[in-house]
């Protein structure tokens, strides 16, 4: 299995290639400036194949911008959506996404899983009336493949994890080899306003990633320096060099390859 954290600047885009099964893209931020580079990269990886599933964690522009460009180029068979309204419903990006979602989209809820080939895909969070913020209703996706796993948390804050995910899943269900930092490295993943003394860390202790990837652009408030320290503290180290943290800003597109025996490797600057 291959998982590509594509450098889209300030936003998220993950290309997932499951052997003998599905091509999945989770989120995208395709702009006029990066369109040619990103579409060329995806084409180099999937050729003339179509995208089986586009998973939108939530409807913010930096997670959905350019999905029509992706559809026009490759064809998307199905969109998975949380069913939660976004915060920029009058924007052209939002309207373009919704037009396509109405044609090929379906609402996906939490506590479901699918088996694609030898990969299990879990949706661990989604629409929840207990949360006001659409970020906290992001579709959180975990991929499991032959002893390796990847956690993709959207823009969820500590609240999603403290109030819903942690109470509903075992520690073994949460443990992941690779973690994509939530909300581009925002401190909201750790910062519980009700606790003025300590950061919330129950979730990352259970995830216990070997390596954390932060998808982030230049000249932005993300990642938060304190959040970076937390990710480095609780990531145990990947490979011989015990790498704990990679960012798309510094390492461009990052590709992980997961082998059939639990082995894995990565390449940067793609």
User: What pTM, to 2 d.p., does this model score?
Assistant: 0.96
CA distance 151 to 179: 5
Q: Provide the percentage of residues in the chain whose pLDDT is more than 90.
A: 89
pLDDT of residue 197: 85
CA distance 198 to 66: 39
Q: What pLDDT, in 10s, does the model give residues 229-242? A: 999 999 999 999 99
Assigned fold of 2-267: Metallo-beta-lactamase; Chain A (3.60.15)
pLDDT at 196 over 70: yes
175 vs 261: which has the higher pLDDT: 175
In this prediction, residue 219 has a pLDDT band, given cuts at 50, 70 and 90, of low
In this prediction, residue 169 has a pLDDT band, given cuts at 50, 70 and 90, of very high
Q: What average pLDDT does the structure give for the chain?
A: 95
Phi, psi of 203 (to 5 degrees): -70, -50
pLDDT of residue 22: 97
- 107: region left, alpha or beta (phi > 0 left; psi from -120 to 50 alpha): beta
pLDDT at 220 over 80: no
Tokens 């003998």, residue located: 20
Pairing status of strand 148-152 against strand 178-180: parallel
What does the domain layout of the chain look like in residue ranges? 2-267
CA distance 210 to 230: 13
In terms of C-beta distances under 8 Å and separation of at least 24 residues, what long-range contacts does 190-199 make, across chains too? Answer: 190/158, 190/226, 190/227, 190/230, 191/157, 191/158, 192/158, 192/159, 192/162, 199/226, 199/230
Q: What pLDDT, in 10s, does the model give residues 59-71? A: 999 999 999 999 9
Which residue, 131, 197, 251, 259, is CA-closest to 154?
Answer: 131
pLDDT of residue 209: 98
In this prediction, residue 56 has a pLDDT band, given cuts at 50, 70 and 90, of very high
pLDDT at 48 over 90: yes
pLDDT at 30 over 90: yes
pLDDT of residue 89: 80
């Amino acid at each position: 299995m291959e998982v590509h954290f594509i450098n889209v600047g300030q936003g998220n885009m993950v290309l997932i290639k499951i052997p003998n099964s599905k091509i999945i893209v989770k989120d995208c931020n395709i702009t006029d400036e990066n369109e040619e580079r990103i579409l060329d990269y995806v084409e180099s990886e999937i050729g003339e194949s179509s995208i089986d599933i586009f998973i939108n964690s939530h409807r913010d522009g930096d997670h959905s911008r350019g999905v029509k460009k992706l559809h026009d180029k490759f064809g998307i068979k199905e969109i998975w959506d949380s069913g939660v309204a976004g915060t920029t419903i009058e924007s052209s990006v939002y309207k373009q996404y919704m037009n396509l979602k109405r044609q090929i989209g379906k609402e996906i809820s939490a506590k479901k899983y699918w088996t694609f080939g030898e990969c299990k895909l879990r949706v661990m969070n989604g629409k929840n009336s207990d949360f006001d913020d659409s970020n906290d209703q992001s579709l959180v996706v975990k991929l499991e493949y032959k002893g390796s796993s990847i956690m993709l948390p959207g823009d969820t804050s500590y609240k999603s994890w403290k109030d819903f995910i942690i109470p509903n899943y075992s520690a073994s269900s949460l443990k992941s080899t690779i973690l994509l930092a939530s909300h581009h490295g925002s401190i909201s993943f750790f910062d519980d306003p009700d606790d003025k003394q300590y950061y919330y860390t129950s979730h990352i202790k259970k995830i216990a990633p070997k390596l954390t990837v932060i998808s982030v652009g230049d000249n932005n408030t993300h990642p938060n320096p304190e959040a970076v320290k937390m990710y480095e503290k609780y990531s145990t180290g990947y490979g011989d060099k015990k790498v704990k943290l990679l960012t798309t800003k510094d390492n461009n597109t990052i590709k992980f390859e997961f082998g059939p025996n639990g082995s894995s490797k990565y390449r940067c600057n793609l």
